[in-house]
Structure 1
Amino acid sequence: MTRKVSNFSDLIQRVTASCLLHPLADTRYDSSGDKDENLLYESEPNKDVDEDGEADKDSEDEEEDEIDDCDEGKMASLKALGEKKKLKQMESLLEEVFEAVSAMKRSYVSLQEAHCPWDPEKMRVADVAVVAQLRKLGVLRERFRRRRGVDENGRRREVRRRATGSLREVVAPYEAVVNDLIKEVKAKDLEVHSLKEKLDNVVTLSSNGGGKKVGRSQSKRKLGISQIQAVAATPSPELFETAMLQVRESSKSFTSLLLSLMHNAHWDITAAVRSIEAATASATEESYNPSAITIATSIVSAHHAKYALESYISRKFFQGFDHETFYMDGSLSSLLNPDQFKRDCFTQYHDMKSMDPTELLGILPSCHFGKFCSQKYLAIVHPKMEESLFGNLEQHQQVSTGSHPRSQFYNEFLGVAKAVWLLHLLAFSLNPAPSQFEASRGAEFHSQYMESVVRFSGGRVPAGQIVGFPVSPGFKLGNGSVVKARVYLIARA
């Protein structure tokens, strides 16, 4: 094997001999360092060695499987413990969230209750409690977000950004409330300005009888208005007097509209007024005074027919004014719990005074105010009157079924109804309540309790005047002041 290879056939012989002599040799290179051609074939393995090798391999595989199974069991156990811990933490967080929400609801209810009646100290405490609960909710939200696994590198920036966002979200509801309050204040200012203008016009018209003594009266009325604005947060006699002026103005407006519709329908106004007054006189105190009917059918001229019509409308509206619900039901809340009932009445007054009655009845047509409107409309506008004025009974049918028409005539009627309803709420919120009175027919004129609807020359009522018929009632207030009853005067002769 040490001789050199002389030719290719000699190389083949040497390789063949080497394979026959060393079939299990580990080395696969010959002495010359050339690669053995037996790499192209696989030698048959030794069975004994293979069996031992396979046994060792199987045992090693089993040990590795046992270790893997043990590691997987530990990992699964650790994972289950981690999930259980996370679940407990999440449950604990949710409990804290629910408790914070419940506490915030209770604080918010206290904040609402502090608005009416107005209690500054209670409102301050409730406001602090609401803010505290909102901040607690913000902290809980941050805890929840951190547990969701934020990237470590951007966590500080994320926490800072979220803290800023949470602060904005906490402040945002209060900013919205402040904006709403600012809008409400502006709306109230506009309403006050409008009412002051209307009242100034009323004062000018009522005081400017002959163009004299206007300044003194106007100065007194304007001083009263400033006092009313100062005490408007609580029921007061001055506020009641202002509400009564609104009733008179709205009643005059509705009477003018009704009178113009009668003219357009070619009514005999004098005959209509005499019929109204005769029926009214026979149904009231004149049932035992026959001469009063004669007075009612003869004293009203065509020029003053509006006063008789206004008297009829006012009498219908103020019928049942002394009862807390105008006798629409048998409620006795004013007797069972008078203090609470007074507070509720003034709250309703504040809530309703700036509302459009048409919109209110569109939302709540069957509320107490809606029932009051339906009852008074059916009492004032007779079906024959409506059919004569409008040619149909459409509005009467709608009111009878509990609906409220969207017509100009009914809107004017709602203006009077709202004014009387607000006056009624104020009357039952005052302590003591106003005492209503009405001048009787044929009574002597008393300037302390009566006011003539007809202006006389010189601005003074001449002697010998008596009450022809009452136009609107008067009230005695708890502070000693008097809202004068309006009357139509005639000469005694």
Structure 2
Amino acid sequence: MPEHFESCISSVKEGSKSFTSLLLSLMKSAHWDIAATVRSIEASTATTTTTSTPTATTDSIVGPNHAKYALESYVNRKIFQGFDHETFYMDGSLSSLLNPDQFRAECFTQYRDMKAMDPIELLGVLPTCQFGKFCSKKYISIVHPKMEESLFGDLEQRRQVLAGNHPRTRFYGEFLVLAKAVWLLHLVAFSLDPPPTHFEGSRGAEFDSRYMESVVRFPGGRVAAGHVVGFPVSPGFKLGDGSVVKARVYVVPRSEL
């Protein structure tokens, strides 16, 4: 596996966990009904956003202290949406098809140039660059108005983002760490020939250790027989050289689904 890709995967995982942890702590401080939020995430589709009130009445499959996995699933689903397109569908660009060699080279150059940059400093200079547009789009997608207002008491960060700016707050800063990690992963992916394909463990699918990794640890390190995917947590990738980045999944006994 290309070391750049592996390094980016690690950064995405760290950024995802860190941002989710902060988001969960803010929800708890704002007295959200975490169990209801988790049920809402479980019941949601790829285009549904969570709310602070339950949208599902069924019992949750998520165990005690595992809300972070459901929240991380929600964040990752939103931020990876459009990953298979060269600009996350922010425009109709077809450069990767029209000039593939040049496009791959440009992607790697952008990755190399941006890797060491502080995202907030970069966006302070170029707030509406492609990366800036990506950050704005994903923030608005992940943090809907009711969520932001309940967490912070106002919509100031959202107003700044909609105006094309990038708030210098701890919350937005944590989001930028994740956004940059995903953006770099995307650049590396599109610099490879062929680009990796990504996949996720679908709800109800049999757990397959070749392609999946359980976020919940089991005794002996092996997932017990009879467990299936409760929900995907983060996508996996198949690379052109045959190597695989396993999809992270939350597994449950089949009887619980």
Q: TM-score, normalised by structure 1?
A: 0.49
Which amino acid counterpart does residue 396 of structure 1 have in structure 2? Answer: R
Aligned counterpart in structure 1 of residue 132 of structure 2, from 370, 379, 383: 370
Cα distance between partner residues in 1 of 2:97 and 2:152: 44
Residue 63 of structure 2 aligns with an amino acid whose one-letter code is S
Instruction: Report if the CA contact (8 A) 1:251-1:416 is conserved.
Output: yes
Aligned with residue 15 of structure 2, among 230, 236, 250: 250
One-letter amino acid matched to 2:111:
Y
CA contact (8 A) 1:251 1:310 kept: yes
Structure 1 partner of 2:167: 405
State the SS of the aligned residue for 1:436: strand
Distance 1:465 1:296, change over 3 A: farther
Match of 1:334? 96
Pick the structure with greater CA Rg.
1
The 2-side partners of 1:491 and 1:454 are apart by 12
Task: Tell me how far apart the structure 2 counterparts of residues 294 and 390 of structure 1 sit (CA, whole Å).
Answer: 26
* CA–CA separation in structure 2 for the residues paired with 1:434 and 1:367: 25
Task: Specify which structure has the higher proportion of strand.
Answer: 2
Amino acid at match of 2:31: H
1:259 lines up with 2:21 in the alignment? no
Task: Indicate which of 341, 344, 348 corresponds to 2:110.
Answer: 348
Deviation, 1:278, is: 1.4
Q: Which moved more, 1:237-246 or 1:396-405?
A: 237-246
Q: Any idea what the Cα deviations from partners look like across 1:49-95, whole Å, max 9, x if unmatched? A: xxxxxxxxxxxxxxxxxxxxxxxxxxxxxxxxxxxxxxxxxxxxxxx
**Conserved in 1, the CA contact under 8 Å of 2:40 and 2:56?**
no
**Does the 8 Å contact 1:237/1:478 carry over to 2?**
no
Query: Do the aligned residues in 1 keep the contact of 2:46 with 2:77 (CA within 8 Å)?
Result: no
Going from structure 1 to structure 2, the CA distance change for 1:330 and 1:481 (only over 3 Å counts) comes to same
Indicate yes or no: 2:224 matched with 1:459.
Answer: no
2-structure distance, mates of 1:277, 1:492: 16
Cα separation, 2, equivalents of 1:309 and 1:352: 28
Question: Given the superposition, is the C-alpha separation of residues 433 and 281 from structure 1 closer, same or farther in structure 2, using an over 3 Å criterion?
Answer: closer
1:446 is aligned to: 208
SS in 1 for 2:45: helix
For 1:352 and 1:343, locate their aligned partners in 2 and report how far apart those are by CA, in whole Å: 14
SS at match of 2:127: coil
Alpha-carbon RMSD across the aligned residues, in angstroms, is: 1.6
Q: 2:65 aligns with which of 303, 313, 329?
A: 303
Distance in 1 of aligned mates of 2:211 and 2:67:
23
Q: How many pairs are equivalent?
A: 249
Please tell me whether residue 380 in structure 1 is matched to residue 142 in structure 2.
yes
SS at match of 1:461: coil
Q: Deviations over 1:315-359 (max 9, x none)?
A: 001000000000000111000000000000000000000000000
Partners of 1:265 and 1:388 within 8 A in 2: yes
Query: Is this contact kept in 1: 2:46–2:78, CA < 8 A?
Result: no
Aligned to 1:392: 154
Q: In 1, Cα distance between the equivalents of 2:44 and 2:196?
A: 29
- Contact between 1:357 and 1:415, CA under 8 Å: does it hold in 2? yes
How far the C-alpha of 1:479 sits from its partner, in A, is: 1.1
Q: CA deviation at 1:294?
A: 7.3
Report the secondary structure of 2:148's partner residue. helix
Identity %: 73
Q: Answer 1 or 2: which has greater helix percent.
A: 1
Distance 1:253 1:439 in 2: 22
2:187 matches 1:422: no
Q: Give the counterpart letter for 2:74 in structure 1.
A: Y
- After superposition, give the CA deviation of every residue in 1:376-433 in whole Å (9 maximum; x if it has no partner): 0000001111000000100010001101000000000000000000000000000111
Q: Confirm whether residue 322 of structure 1 aligns to residue 87 of structure 2.
A: no
For 2:180 and 2:204, how far apart are their aligned partners in 1? 32
CA distance in 1 between counterparts of 2:173 and 2:70 reads 22
The CA distance in 2 between the partners of 1:370 and 1:414, in whole Å, is 10
Q: Structure 1: any 5+ residue segments left out of the alignment?
A: 1-235, 284-292
Structure 2 unaligned spans of 5+: 49-54
| SS at 2:101 equivalent | helix
One-letter code of the match for 2:241?
A: N
